Structure 1
Amino acid sequence: MDSTTIRNRRLLSFATAALLTAGLSACGGTEDTSGNGPAAEPSHSGPVSMEFWGWAPGYDKIVDQWNAAHPNSKVTFKKIPSGGKGGYTQITNAITAGKGPCLAQIEYGTLPSMLVKNTVMDITRYAKADMAKYVPSAVSASSVGGKIYGVPVDVGPMVLFYRKDLFAKYGISKPPATWAAYKADAEKVAAADRSVKFGTAPGDGNDLAAFSLQTGKSWYSTHGDSWTVSIDNPGTRKVATFWQGMKDKGLVTKTGNAWDPQFDKAAEAGKVLTFVNAAWAAGGLKSDLKDQSGKWAVAPMPTWSAGDGKSASNGGSATSVMTGCKTPREAEQFAAFLSSDPKAVSTGITVGGLYPASKAGQNDPSLAAGDPYFGGQKVGELYKASAAQVPTNWTNGPTYQQVETDFTTAIGQGTLPAAVTKVQASTVAAIKQLGLSVTGG
Structure 2
Amino acid sequence: MRLHKETRLLSALLGPILVLAACVGCSGGSADGGGGDQQANLTVWSWDGTVAKAVPGFEAENPNIKVKVVNAGSSTDEYTALDNAIQAGSGVPDLAMFEYFALPYFAIPGKLDDLGGFGAESLQKDYVAAAWNDVTVNGKVYGLPSDYGPSAMFYNEATLKKAGVNKPPATWDEYYQDAKKVRALGGNYYIAQDTGDPFFLLSLIWQAGGRPFKVSGNTVHIDFTDPGTTKAVEFWQKMLDEGLVNTKVTAWSDDWNRTLNDGTLASQTMGGWLTSTLPERAPHAAGRFKVALMPQWAQGDEVGSENGGSSFGIPAAAQHKAAAYKFLKYFTHDAGLTPRVAAGAFVPDTSVLESKDAQSKANTYFGGQKVGAVLAEASKSVATGWQYPPFFEWARVTYGDLVSKFYTTGKGSLAQILEEWKQRMTKYGNDQGFKVD
User: Runs (4+) of structure 1 moved beyond 6 Å?
Assistant: none
**Aligned-pair RMSD on alpha carbons?**
2.5
Q: For residue 390 of structure 1, give the secondary structure of its aligned residue in structure 2.
A: coil
* Corresponding residue for residue 89 of structure 1: 80
CA distance in 1, matches of 2:217, 2:327: 36
Q: For residue 109 of structure 1, give the secondary structure of its aligned residue in structure 2.
A: helix
* TM-score between the two structures when normalised by the length of structure 1: 0.87
1:388–1:216 CA distance, 2 compared to 1 (3 A): same
1:50–1:195 CA distance, 2 compared to 1 (3 A): closer
Shift of 1:70: 0.9
Q: For residue 83 of structure 2, give the secondary structure of its aligned residue in structure 1.
A: helix
CA distance in 2, matches of 1:167, 1:4: 49
Deviation readout 1:253-281 (Å, 9 max, x if unpaired): 11575442222222333312111111111
* Corresponding residue for residue 266 of structure 2: 273
* Corresponding residue for residue 348 of structure 2: 357
Supply the AA of the counterpart residue of 1:90.
A
Among the aligned pairs, what percent are the same residue?
27
Q: Give the 5 Å matches for 1:18-417.
A: 30-31=27-28, 38=29, 41=32, 46-84=38-76, 86-97=77-88, 98-116=90-108, 118-126=110-118, 127-193=120-186, 195-201=188-194, 203-222=196-215, 226-254=219-247, 258-342=251-335, 344-351=336-343, 353-364=344-355, 367-368=358-359, 369-414=361-406, 415-417=413-415
1:202–1:188 CA distance, 2 compared to 1 (3 A): same
Shift of 1:249: 1.6
Deviates more, 1:357-366 or 1:309-318: 357-366
CA distance in 1, matches of 2:248, 2:339: 32
Deviation readout 1:381-432 (Å, 9 max, x if unpaired): 1101111111110111111122211211121112322221111111111110
Q: State yes or no: 1:423 paired with 2:421.
A: yes
Deviation readout 1:285-343 (Å, 9 max, x if unpaired): 2001112110111111101111110011111111100121233222112111111124x
* Corresponding residue for residue 34 of structure 1: none
Query: Is the 2:138–2:217 Cα contact (8 Å) retained in structure 1?
Result: no
CA distance in 2, matches of 1:256, 1:145: 39
Supply the AA of the counterpart residue of 2:241.
D
Query: Is the 2:30–2:117 Cα contact (8 Å) retained in structure 1?
Result: no
Shift of 1:55: 0.6
Query: Is the 1:219–1:230 Cα contact (8 Å) retained in structure 2?
Result: yes
Q: For residue 314 of structure 1, give the secondary structure of its aligned residue in structure 2.
A: strand
Shift of 1:39: 6.2
Query: Is the 2:182–2:189 Cα contact (8 Å) retained in structure 1?
Result: yes
CA distance in 1, matches of 2:201, 2:167: 26
Shift of 1:436: 1.3
1:51–1:39 CA distance, 2 compared to 1 (3 A): closer
Query: Is the 1:258–1:275 Cα contact (8 Å) retained in structure 2?
Result: no
Query: Is the 1:198–1:274 Cα contact (8 Å) retained in structure 2?
Result: yes
Deviation readout 1:117-143 (Å, 9 max, x if unpaired): 542111112111122211111111001
CA distance in 2, matches of 1:39, 1:379: 39
Q: For residue 397 of structure 1, give the secondary structure of its aligned residue in structure 2.
A: coil
Deviates more, 1:383-392 or 1:267-276: 267-276
Deviation readout 1:78-133 (Å, 9 max, x if unpaired): 1221112x111112212222221011111110011122454211111211112221
Deviation readout 1:362-399 (Å, 9 max, x if unpaired): 24565330100011100111101111111110111111
* TM-score between the two structures when normalised by the length of structure 2: 0.87
1:92–1:257 CA distance, 2 compared to 1 (3 A): same
CA distance in 1, matches of 2:224, 2:65: 44
Deviates more, 1:252-261 or 1:400-409: 252-261
Structure 2 spans left out of the alignment, 5+ residues? 1-15, 407-412
Structure 1 spans left out of the alignment, 5+ residues? 9-25, 32-37
CA distance in 2, matches of 1:7, 1:329: 22
Deviates more, 1:368-377 or 1:326-335: 326-335
Deviation readout 1:24-72 (Å, 9 max, x if unpaired): xx9x7733xxxxxx36647765212211111111222212321122101
Query: Is the 1:346–1:364 Cα contact (8 Å) retained in structure 2?
Result: no
Aligned residues: 411
